[in-house]
């Protein structure tokens, strides 16, 4: 049996949404992050998401796992044909979200201790993270000002992943007040059946 390893409301949420979108027969298992968690025997980095295939191969990284899941249902509107411009655009947004938004901004906001051992530096690291987040959200806001979804006017892998970070952004002070299109996107995302089901399981 294929298994997706997750932590509730973490970045693994996107893969869980895609599993529900595509109704894939994949087990979803919550893990603990602690250094002595048994999950470390499965994935020594302790990071989620990770997807363990039937033959025990372990896939990591959202940018690999989301396309892999979509390719289990060839022709799904969540992705696009090999060689198409839309496929490259979807992958472009996945890259932007994984690098500029997640690691480039949220890592400083959520894990300042990874950037300095000096606790007095944390406020500055977090505030730089918020600035970087605002910058990284701008191209997403610009795109969604004129269309409901990032690529091709339909819900794709890029939107499944975006929803995670817009949800987190809604908890960063009043940041989202400057991003009306992203606020509207979040309402659409949370109303989606696959997202409602995922939230219910992860809550
Ligand atoms: N680049 C990885 C990042 C994975 C990642 O950092 N996940 C976080 C949760 S959102 C995690 O596992 N945190 C636990 C830790 O850092 O110890 C991806 O996109 O899959």
Write the CATH number for 187.
Answer: 1.20.1050.10
Task: Name the residue of 12, 35, 40, 48 whose CB sits within 8 Å of the most ligand 1 atoms, as the mutation to test its pocket.
Answer: 48
CA of 48 to the centre of ligand 1 (A): 5
Q: What is the DSSP string of 139-198?
A: HHHHHHTT-SSSSTTS--HHHHHHHHHHHHHTTSTTGGGG-HHHHHHHHHHHHSHHHHHH
Same domain, 93 and 36: no
Q: Give yes or no: residues 107 and 56 share one domain.
A: no
Task: Quote the number of domains for the chain.
Answer: 2
Residue 80: inside a domain, yes or no?
no
Same domain, 109 and 21: no
142 C-alpha vs ligand 1 centroid, how far in Å? 27
- Average confidence score pLDDT of the chain: 97
| Residue-wise pLDDT tens digits, 42-101 | 999 999 999 999 999 999 999 999 999 999 999 999 999 999 999 999 999 999 999 999
Residues 188 and 89 in one domain: yes
Q: What is the pLDDT of residue 42?
A: 97
Within 6 Å (CB) of ligand 1, which residues are found? 10-11, 33, 46-49, 61-62, 98
User: Quick one: pLDDT at residue 134?
Assistant: 98
Q: Say whether both 69 and 111 belong to one domain.
A: no
Same domain, 175 and 91: yes
Per-residue model confidence (pLDDT) at position 167: 98
So what's the pLDDT on residue 37? 96
Asked whether residue 95 falls in the same domain as residue 148, the answer is yes
- Torsions phi, psi for 98 (to 5 deg): -70, -35
Identify whether residues 102 and 184 lie together within a single domain. Answer: yes
11 and 60 within one domain: yes
Domain CATH for 15: 3.40.30.10
Report phi then psi at 4, rounded to 5.
-100, 125
Domain assignment present for 172: yes
In a shared domain, residues 100 and 60: no
Domain of 41 in residue numbering reads as 3-75+198-202
The predicted-structure confidence for 137-163, as pLDDT tens digits, reads as follows 999 999 999 999 999 999 999 999 999
Section 179-194 average pLDDT: 98
- Return d(Cα 7, Cα 177) in angstroms, integer: 28
């Amino acid at each position: 049996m294929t298994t997706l390893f997750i932590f509730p409301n973490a970045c693994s949420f996107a893969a869980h949404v895609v599993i529900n979108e595509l109704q894939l027969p994949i087990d979803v298992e919550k893990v603990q992050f602690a250094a002595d968690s048994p999950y470390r025997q499965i994935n020594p980095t302790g990071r989620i998401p990770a997807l363990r295939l039937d033959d025990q191969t372990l896939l990591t990284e959202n940018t690999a796992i989301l396309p892999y899941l979509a390719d289990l249902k060839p022709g799904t509107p969540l992705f696009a044909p090999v060689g198409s411009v839309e496929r490259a655009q979807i992958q472009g947004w996945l890259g932007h979200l994984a690098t500029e938004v997640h690691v480039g901004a949220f890592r400083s906001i959520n894990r300042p201790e990874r950037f300095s051992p000096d606790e007095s530096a944390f406020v500055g690291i977090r505030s730089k993270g918020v600035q970087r987040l605002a910058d990284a959200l701008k191209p997403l806001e610009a795109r969604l000002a004129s269309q409901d979804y990032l690529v091709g006017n339909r819900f794709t892998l890029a939107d499944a992943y975006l929803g995670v970070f817009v949800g987190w952004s809604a908890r960063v002070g009043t940041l989202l007040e400057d991003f009306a299109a992203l606020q509207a996107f979040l309402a659409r995302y949370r109303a989606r059946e696959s997202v409602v089901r995922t939230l219910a399981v992860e809550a």
